[in-house]
Amino acid sequence: MRCTRCGANIPDDQMICPECGAEVQIVPDYNPLDDVLTREVRGSVEGATRQIQTDDIRKYQRKSGTQNGNSTRVLSQEEMDRLREKRREQARRSRNAGRNTELRRQQQRAKRLEAARRKRRNLLITLFVLLVLIVVVIYVAYINSYTGVMKSGYRALQERNYETAEEYFNRAVVKDRSRAEAYIGLSEIYRDQDDLDGAEDVFLTALESQPTNTAIYQAVIDFYMDTEQQEKISVLLASCDDQGVLDAVADYVSAAPTFSLADGTYEEVQEVSITSETGGTIYYTTDGTDPTTASTQYTEPILLQKEETTEIRAIAVNANDIPSVVSTAKYTIEFPLVDAPAVNPATGQYTEPTQITITVPEGYTAYYTTDGSTPTADSTQYTGPVDMPQNQQIIFSAVLINNNNGKATAVTTRNYISRID
């Protein structure tokens, strides 16, 4: 038969068009042969019967086929039952196929979901493993980094495991010798054992190979401040030739004092002024001892008026209470001595009244005797011309005494004879 929708041939055992999928319409209640038989029976009611011609049947069949060829065909009851059974079987198969398809779909969907879950689980496991590996790598890198090694060193130091702490801090030095933290850690090992000299040597040794490392200079300065050894800061910085370092620690620089008078020997009274480039308070001594903040504070020039040697030592203390290195100067005051005094007249015999005079330089006082003894500051002071005794012989001796230092010159002696008639 042909499909009423698309005209395609439909096999007898099919109920659905294979081309367009239209369902075949079956009319089980109509049979043209039954109509022919009914008419023939009615025509022979009175006993007259007429043989049914095959052509009639064919004509009806052709008519029926012409009328219904495009939509339906008349089937026998047996064919109808067979088709119905086949259709029911196809329906069952279709339902079973549908159920199987749905089951397969569900199974496939379940498999996809399980595969997705498995994939997600594997991804999560992979990510977790990767994260663990990253954490392990970061941790290993950290504990072997400068910071990690330093923390391990301080942990050992807190446990008083000094040997282990020293190993860690030395490892940190190897990793970065320019950073001060490792040297600070090493110094704290010594400080923890009350060995300040050992702690100091850690920094000084580092500076020997890194004389321009500002961080290490700052670290040793902090060490001196913490241990109240401020006086060593200026000693440290005095040996530094790097201006960059000095600029970086300028707050701790305390310039040593300078004296207005150079060392040496002077023949007159002198004044000495003391100054410091960085300002602050100046303290000094004149007895040769090192000054401290308990020494005499400088407020005015120092007067050197005695004939002696004076050693002045001074320090300057800046605003951060950092004392400078000690500056020293020695001064010797030696007042000059004149020759023996000039006494007139000269030795001799005089027949007329004569006066004896002594030339007295500024800064001196003259003393004399007339009995030949050596004059001193306790002898008769010369204040003006002395009358020569008449008709006598005298030995006149004169000396000059320095008014500043009390030193006496050589003695001038004259022998006078007076003969006056």
Q: Domain with 267 in it: what CATH number?
A: 2.60.40
For residue 65, pLDDT beyond 80: no
Domains in the chain, number: 4
pLDDT of res. 258: 96
Domain boundary among 293, 310, 333: 333
Q: Which range, of 138-147, 168-177, 212-221, 393-402, averages the lowest pLDDT? A: 138-147
Label the pairing between strands 393-402 and 364-369: antiparallel
158 and 244 in a common domain: yes
Q: Which range, of 269-273, 356-360, 401-405, 413-417, averages the lowest pLDDT? A: 401-405
288 and 231 in a common domain: no
Structure tokens at 278: 């960085």
CB 256 within 8 A of CB 313: no
172 and 242 in a common domain: yes
- For the segment 298-350, what is each residue's pLDDT rounded down to a tens digit? 999 999 988 889 999 999 999 989 999 999 999 998 877 778 999 999 999 99
Question: DSSP letters of 41-62?
Answer: HHHTTTS---PPPHHHHHHHHH
219 and 189 in a common domain: yes
Domain boundary among 55, 75, 92: 92
- For the segment 74-103, what is each residue's pLDDT rounded down to a tens digit? 667 787 778 778 778 877 777 777 777 778
Does residue 112 belong to any structural domain of this protein?
A: no
Does residue 4 belong to any structural domain of this protein?
A: no
pLDDT of res. 43: 54
Does residue 6 belong to any structural domain of this protein?
A: no
Question: How sure is the predictor about 136, in pLDDT bands with cuts at 50, 70 and 90?
Answer: confident
Structure tokens at 186: 């090493």
Domain boundary among 252, 279, 295: 252
246 and 152 in a common domain: yes
Q: Is 55 exposed, middle or buried (0-12, 13-18, 19+ CB in 10 A)?
A: exposed
CA atoms within 13 A on the CB side of 211: 9
185 and 218 in a common domain: yes
What's the mean pLDDT when you consider all of the chain?
85
Domain that holds residue 171: 146-252
Which SS3 state, helix, strand or coil, does residue 107 take?
Answer: helix
Q: Domain with 162 in it: what CATH number?
A: 1.25.40.10
- For the segment 102-130, what is each residue's pLDDT rounded down to a tens digit? 787 788 888 888 888 888 889 899 999 99
Does residue 317 belong to any structural domain of this protein?
A: yes
Q: Which of 340, 337, 344 is nearest to 396 (CA)?
A: 344
Phi, psi of 251 (to 5 degrees): -65, -20
Helix runs in 159-270, H state only: 162-175, 181-192, 196-209, 214-226, 231-238, 243-248
Rounded CA separation 374/199 (Å): 69
243 and 183 in a common domain: yes
